[in-house]
């Protein structure tokens, strides 16, 4: 759904070859009167190491969904980074988006016991600082396209947010965002090849100061090509889709998103009952008038953001030992050459946090991360490498 305010984004041609994320021709320059919104879970590494990895992912997905619902499901660009998100909205939607972020920050504090930092950064300020924001649309399926960002502007905005600039303060105590559609009912996706690899690759010089963008782009292309050799881009989810879990491991978190404390018991029971029906349908393959479980599973795999680009490359892929060794050698060589900085984290499985407006349509979205640390622990490795 779109209106004239977001038509800039919806009219960008969709491309379907992920290798083109380093091709400037697929990107369009963001209008000057737009804003970049960002979030970041403070202390996400410690939270993940204490077992809160699912809550960290939920905090990121909640920020995106809160804005989606606040804007009435208008199409706008966004990207999920595990412990944080980035998105862009036109100036006329700035107040609604900021209110959604403020409410989400308060909800994350009160319900997930985490601290969510948030910011709204004018594109005009990004350009004044010497950076740019360009956006492209990567087609995942006929119903879903994921935003890709380039120009180093989002990267600069994230650095500014972490210095507490352009900050969005949490809303009043007790405030809640509209998180209708937030779901996490799929089983963890186990590796079939050896490990689930979470990978982040950025330019070595840091925010927007790469000495040779061409060299960086070539390395990104080589990494993508390496994982493409495994077929389907080394997608962790099988072509027929993921397996449905019951009882859902995210039951408590989903109930926290859907209902206030007084109504949470009833909400848990409701989710458990609906999930049980879903489990039966997925196990048997039985169709209802408006729901085909086999089709829904296939679309879930297609609509999963297992790889993305927002000034840095982020991938969560299924990786065999040989490909892992080649990837490490390529990354280490490029890092030693001063072309990239990178972080990787190996684990046994991946997890999904989902946005499902309706099970009867194909526009559901699924955010993938490693099941035991993923992007947050890959980012920790990247930061440690920068400190050396």
* 213 pLDDT higher than 80: no
Q: Is 246 part of any domain?
A: no
> Which pLDDT score is estimated for 206?
61
Structural domains in the chain (count): 1
The answer as to whether 280 is a domain residue is: no
Query: How many whole angstroms separate alpha carbon 60 and alpha carbon 355?
Result: 12
Residue 267 CA to residue 251 CA, distance in Å, equals 9
Q: What is the DSSP letter of 22?
A: G
pLDDT band at 2 (very low <50, low <70, confident <90, very high): low
pLDDT in the model for residue 387: 46
Highest mean pLDDT among 33-42, 48-57, 207-216: 33-42
pLDDT bracket for residue 248 (50, 70, 90): confident
pLDDT in tens, 125-171: 999 999 999 999 999 999 999 999 999 999 999 999 999 999 999 99
What residue ranges in 72-142 does DSSP mark as E strands? 78-80, 84-90, 115-122, 134-141
Structural domain for 90, as ranges: 4-241+297-387
Q: What is the pLDDT of residue 3?
A: 72
Any domain includes 265 = no
Considering the chain, what is the average pLDDT of its residues? 92
Q: Does residue 284 form part of some domain? A: no
Helix axes 264-284 and 293-302, enclosed angle (nearest 10):
100
Reported pTM: 0.92
- Cβ neighbors of 240 (< 8 A, separation 6 or more) are 294, 297, 298, 301
Q: What percent of the chain has pLDDT over 90?
A: 79
Please tell me the distance from the alpha carbon of residue 204 to that of residue 220, in angstroms, as a whole number. Answer: 12
Q: Is residue 64 part of a domain?
A: yes
- pLDDT digit string (tens) for 83-123? 899 999 999 999 999 999 999 999 999 999 999 999 999 99
In a domain, 249, yes or no: no
Report if residue 254 sits inside a domain.
Answer: no
248 found inside a domain:
no
């Amino acid at each position: 759904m779109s209106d004239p305010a977001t038509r800039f984004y919806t009219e960008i041609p969709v491309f379907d070859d992920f290798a083109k994320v380093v091709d400037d021709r697929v990107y369009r320059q963001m209008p000057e009167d737009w804003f970049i919104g960002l979030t970041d879970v403070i202390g996400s590494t410690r939270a993940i190491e204490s077992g809160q990895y699912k809550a960290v992912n939920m905090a990121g997905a909640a920020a995106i969904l809160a804005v989606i619902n606040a804007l009435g499901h208008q199409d706008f660009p966004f990207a999920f980074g595990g412990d944080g998100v980035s998105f862009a909205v036109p100036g006329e939607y700035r107040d609604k988006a900021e209110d959604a972020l403020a409410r989400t920050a308060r909800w994350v504090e009160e319900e997930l016991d985490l601290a969510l930092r948030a910011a709204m950064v004018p594109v005009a300020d990004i350009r004044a600082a010497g950076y740019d924001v360009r956006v492209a649309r990567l087609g995942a399926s006929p119903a879903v396209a994921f935003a890709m960002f380039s120009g180093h502007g989002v990267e600069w905005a994230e650095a500014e947010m972490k210095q507490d600039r352009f900050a969005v303060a949490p809303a009043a105590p007790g405030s809640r965002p509209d998180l209708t559609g937030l779901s996490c009912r799929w089983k963890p996706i186990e590796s079939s090849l050896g490990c689930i690899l979470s990978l982040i690759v950025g330019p070595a010089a840091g925010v927007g100061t790469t000495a040779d963008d061409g060299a960086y782009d070539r390395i990104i292309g080589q990494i993508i090509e390496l994982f493409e050799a495994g077929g389907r881009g080394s997608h962790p989810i099988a072509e027929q889709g993921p397996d449905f879990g019951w009882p859902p491991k995210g039951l408590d978190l989903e109930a926290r998103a859907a209902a206030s404390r007084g109504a949470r018991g009833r909400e848990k029971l409701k989710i458990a009952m609906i999930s049980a029906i879903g489990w039966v349908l997925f196990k048997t393959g039985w169709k209802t008038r408006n729901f085909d479980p086999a089709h829904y599973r296939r679309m879930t795999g297609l609509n999963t953001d297992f790889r993305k680009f927002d000034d840095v490359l982020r991938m969560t892929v299924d990786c065999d030992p040989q490909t892992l060794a080649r990837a490490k050698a390529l990354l280490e060589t490029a890092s030693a050459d001063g072309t990239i900085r990178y972080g990787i984290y190996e684990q046994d499985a991946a997890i999904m946090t989902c946005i499902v407006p309706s099970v009867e349509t194909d526009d559901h979205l699924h955010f993938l991360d490693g099941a035991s640390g993923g992007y947050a622990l890959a980012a920790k490795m990247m930061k440690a490498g920068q400190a050396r």
